[in-house]
Amino acid sequence: MGSVGVINPLVSAARIARFTAVMYKPHYLLYGVLWVLALEGTASFVTQPDSAWRPTGATVVRIVVVAFVLLYLRMVDEQKDLEYDRVHNPDRPLVTGAVSGGELRVAMGLIAIGAIAGSLALSVGSAVMIAVAMAYGLVLWGLEWLYATVRTNILVNLVVTYPVQLLVTGYIVVSAIDTGEVRPHWQAAAVAGIFAGAFLQFEFARKTSRERRPDELLYSNVLGAKGSTVASLLCAVAAVLCDIGLVQPWDYSPPGSLIAWLPAVLLLIPAFGALRFRDRVAYPALPAVVFILALYLTLIGQALALP
């Protein structure tokens, strides 16, 4: 499984393409696109509210880089989670042999070179930040291999793994500052709170069950079903409060105030998910996904319409 089967590059390329089709679903790509647009737009809006934000060529480069880096991190996850997947996800491409670890590592190297080169075309800071984000993905792999607690304690794992998301967020903000879309004010850093809360509400929701499953990594195994549900809802609330604190919707009159206050209304989505969970064994992931997508679309709308 770990051998490098790259005798025929075309065959390997086809195997990587099939891996991407299976493991990198369209909603992952959609998430990456909306993440960049919403983060850049919101950071621009709150740091220079008198100037209208519009996506630029640099924005497109950041979208492409983030999309490929998310695929890179997916490839890292597949390799570091291989033993777990052999038990719980036996149909994964790496488990079945549809792709080899060597082929994934070659693809990761090519992605890393392309991401750093593309980011370097924007600024040195952009290249450094994306390199650090990808390097941290490898550090996580090493930490999980070295320390059983990181592998088996889901809360420790969350504390150790979540910073990779923050590093990609940092890449987007630093790059946008370097290319002029965002000003270097404290609000640019504070925007990260919105995206941390939105992502973590999904993270808790997707790993919550009413059944205790000791052999699976679930937050509900540690926090209980109610505790995990509350954690997910609190993260959603934190994301919305962070947005409201930065956007200050009370400063706008209709119709602008409607879109400024819309994130608060979106809290009904995760609340609906929590209500649905009362009649289910597994927490419904769809409302958590819809909340992220709806929030990011709203943030983009705020950045485009409110200035």
Res 79 pLDDT > 70:
yes
Alpha helices in the chain (DSSP H): 9-23, 26-47, 57-80, 82-88, 93-96, 101-120, 124-146, 148-152, 154-161, 163-178, 186-190, 192-206, 219-247, 256-265, 268-277, 285-305
Question: Do the beta carbons of residue 138 and residue 109 sit within 8 Å?
Answer: no
What does pTM read for this prediction? 0.92
* pLDDT band for position 72 (cuts 50, 70, 90): very high
More confident residue, 292 or 80: 292
* pLDDT band for position 3 (cuts 50, 70, 90): very low
Res 2 pLDDT > 50:
no
Strand partners, 209: 282
182 vs 192: CA distance, rounded Å: 14
Domain chopping of the chain, boundaries: 1-184, 191-307
Return the CATH class of domain 1-184: mainly alpha
Res 1 pLDDT > 80:
no
DSSP 250: G
Look at residue 63 in the predicted model and tell me its pLDDT: 98
Identify which of 74-88, 148-162, 171-185, 248-262 has the greatest average pLDDT: 171-185
Question: Do the beta carbons of residue 240 and residue 266 sit within 8 Å?
Answer: yes
